[in-house]
Amino acid sequence: MVLDYLREILETLDALIGRDILVRIGESLLLLLLYMGVRLLISRATRTALKIPERRYQVHKYARLALNVVFFLSLFQVWLNRSWSIASFIGLLSAGLAIVLREPLLNLAGWLFIVTRRPFVLGQRLQVADGPRGDVVDIGVNDFTLMEIGNWVDADQSTGRLVHVPNSVVFTKHLANYSKAFPYLWNEISVPVTFESDWEEAARSLERIAGEICTLTPEEQAKVKGDLHRTDTYFIAFTHLTPIVYVQRRDQGIELTLRYLCIPKNRRGMESAIWKAILKDFTNSQQYQLAYPTQRIVLDQPPAGASLPNKDR
């Protein structure tokens, strides 16, 4: 009874799709069962033979990869018929590999771009748009590695974490290089002073402090300007390389903004040294004071003998 029923189903399928297709479906199901059985054997064998977790993971990963390749190639062999040429099979396989290996191929292209165009080199500091910041410590075929800065650290200092960034970001993201073609950064410190302060004297004091701590020597200025004039890659035309103070009125007082050059990796240390000198100078000065948000309350005193209005009336 059951055999007759199965025979009828097979005859119906044979009439609809053909005996050749049925044979190929059966072979594909047998391959699938064989694939699942071998995969189970690989899992058990690796767990039994290999006791080191790292080694077991690697062997299991590559064994399954090889098994997947053999399985899919076998399926292609089963379904390859006279209407398919070898060229068609190779073309289909290449298209599939291109889709599967899209990211590795993009990373390889990114690596070629990095080693030829050199948007950054080892030791330079980078910031990936909407991504990590850090110093480049390794450049590989698949990715480059940053020693992370910032994040939960409130400055451009290392967190101790290594961040691996795919090379494909050179095509999809903006990269900010801290020292490409120009080895310094412009940094700014905002110093608010009260309206009653002698802001001109305070500005001269800030320029003096910055001049003592972070002004480039004449030899360094000449070297920087010479390097900028010799470069043919970027049009950079800095002419003023010494510290300068800008003045602007704010609601809480007069804001003095000190702008100066610093080496990218010394940014926090130099800012700390400048602030120490500023605080000492302002503490010892009677001409200017630091401003901070304040509130003034003016109470209107009634004349002597006058009574306060009755608010209940």
Judgement on whether residues 45 and 91 belong to the same structural domain of the protein = yes
The pLDDT assigned to 105 comes to: 82
pLDDT one-digit tens code per residue, 187-196:
999 999 999 9
Same domain, 81 and 28: yes
- Please check whether residues 65 and 149 belong to one and the same domain: no
**Which residues are paired to 278 by β-bridges?**
none
- Write down the pLDDT at residue 232: 57
Which residues pair with residue 186 across a beta bridge? 261
Can you tell me the distance from the alpha carbon of 33 to that of 29, in angstroms, rounded to the nearest whole number? Answer: 6
Q: Are residues 92 and 150 in the same domain?
A: no
Q: Which of 51-55, 60-64, 130-134, 186-190 has the lowest mean pLDDT?
A: 51-55
Question: What is the predicted pLDDT for the residue at 307?
Answer: 59
Query: Whats the size of the chain, residue-wise?
Result: 313
Q: What is the pLDDT of residue 85?
A: 54
> Which of 46, 74, 100 is a domain's end point?
100
Residue 255: the pLDDT is: 94
Higher-pLDDT residue of 37 and 240 is 37
How many Å apart are CA 282 and CA 308, to the nearest integer? 45
Q: Could you tell me if 14 and 93 lie in one domain? A: yes
Distance separating alpha carbons of residues 290 and 254, to the nearest angstrom: 9
Give the tokens for residue 67. 């098994």
* Final residue belonging to a domain, choices 100, 125, 148: 100
Identify the CA nearest to 207 among candidates 257, 254, 248.
257
Structural domain boundaries enclosing 57: 10-100
**Can you give the pLDDT at residue 82?**
45
Six token digits for residue 136: 């480049």
The answer to the question of residue 255 being in a domain is yes
Q: Which of these ranges, 14-28, 40-54, 87-101, 151-165, has the smallest mean pLDDT?
A: 87-101
Handedness of CA 106, 112, 117, 122 (dihedral sign): positive
Same domain? 95 vs 160: no
At 301 the pLDDT is 66
Q: Are residues 81 and 40 in the same domain?
A: yes
Do 74 and 16 belong to one domain? Answer: yes
pLDDT at 241: 77
Is residue 191 within 8 A of residue 220, CB to CB? The reply is: no
> What is the pLDDT, as a whole number, of residue 155?
77
Asked if residue 126 and residue 94 are part of one domain, the reply reads: no
For residues 224-247, average pLDDT:
70
Q: Is 209 exposed, middle or buried (0-12, 13-18, 19+ CB in 10 A)?
A: buried
Domain check: are 207 and 240 in the same one? yes
Let me know if residue 1 belongs to a domain: no
Please give the radius of gyration of the chain, using alpha carbons only, rounded to the nearest integer.
36
> What is the per-residue pLDDT for 199?
92
CATH of the domain at 171: 2.30.30
Residue 150 and residue 84 share a domain? no
Do 92 and 122 belong to one domain?
A: no
Examine residue 109 and state whether it is found in any structural domain, yes or no. Answer: no
pLDDT band at 313 (very low <50, low <70, confident <90, very high): very low
How far, CA to CA in Å, does 95 sit from each of 63, 72, 89, 99, 240? 24, 14, 10, 6, 56
Asked whether residue 290 is assigned to any structural domain, the reply reads no
Looking at residues 305-310, what average pLDDT do you find? 56
Span 195-204, mean pLDDT? 92
Using alpha carbons only, give the angle 260, 211, 256 rounded to the nearest 5 degrees: 55
pLDDT of residue 239: 66
* Residue 234 pLDDT: 62
User: What average pLDDT does this structure show over 94-120?
Assistant: 80
Given a contact cutoff of 8 angstroms between Cβ atoms, the answer to whether 106 and 168 are in contact is: yes
Please state, in angstroms and as integers, the Cα–Cα distance from residue 293 to each residue in 31, 290, 296, following that order: 77, 10, 10
How many domains does the chain contain in total? 3
